[in-house]
């Protein structure tokens, strides 16, 4: 059996993606007043979250049989990551649109702007995958508020 790769050499593409996000975070302009995110930025962030969601789903599926406790934690992280992607999608639609028509979600057509802005189609496809494995109760955001 081959030995596992050294941590510095393990998963180079994932490490590169992490480094890219770290670099992007540092490179965000620090203007006064701060410039809000635009729709293109949220579209790219949503793409990253949904791809990470798919990766976490695969990792949870392969981990769960051998290590049920770890699999449950990964499944919880999977759900929370979906909730994050859904919140980014919602924020996308609250930002001003380049066209004055509407900011509603229409996954059946391309959103305004370049064809790279495909957040609604991506969100719809990811949502179908989530609903096959998750119950509506699991998808409700958890609150930590004390109920009296």
pLDDT one-digit tens code per residue, 66-100: 999 999 999 889 989 999 999 999 999 898 876 65
For residue range 32-71, what is the model confidence (pLDDT) as tens digits? 787 888 888 999 999 999 999 999 999 999 999 999 999 9
Could you check whether the bond before residue 113 is cis, i.e. omega within 30 degrees of 0? no
As a whole number of angstroms, the distance between CA 121 and CA 136 comes to: 21
pLDDT of residue 125: 87
| End-to-end CA separation in angstroms for the chain | 56
* Contact assessment for residue 141 and residue 83, using Cβ atoms and an 8 Å cutoff: yes
- Phi, psi (rounded to 5 degrees) for 54: -65, -40
Q: Which of 119, 6, 123 is nearest to 53 (CA)?
A: 123
Residue 131 — pLDDT band, cuts 50, 70, 90? confident
């Amino acid at each position: 059996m081959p030995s596992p790769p050294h941590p510095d050499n393990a998963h180079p593409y994932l490490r590169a993606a992490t480094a890219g996000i770290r670099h992007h975070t540092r490179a965000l302009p620090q203007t006064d007043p701060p410039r809000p995110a635009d729709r293109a930025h949220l579209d790219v962030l949503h793409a990253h979250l949904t791809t990470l969601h798919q990766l976490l789903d695969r990792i949870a599926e392969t981990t769960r049989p051998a290590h049920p406790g770890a699999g449950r934690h990964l499944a919880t992280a999977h759900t929370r990551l979906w909730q994050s992607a859904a919140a980014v999608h919602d924020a996308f639609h609250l930002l001003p649109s380049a066209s004055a028509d509407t900011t509603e979600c229409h996954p059946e057509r391309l959103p305004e702007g370049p064809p790279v802005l495909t957040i609604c189609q991506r969100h719809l496809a990811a949502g179908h995958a989530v609903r096959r494995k998750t119950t509506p109760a699991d998808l409700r955001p958890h609150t930590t508020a004390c109920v009296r």
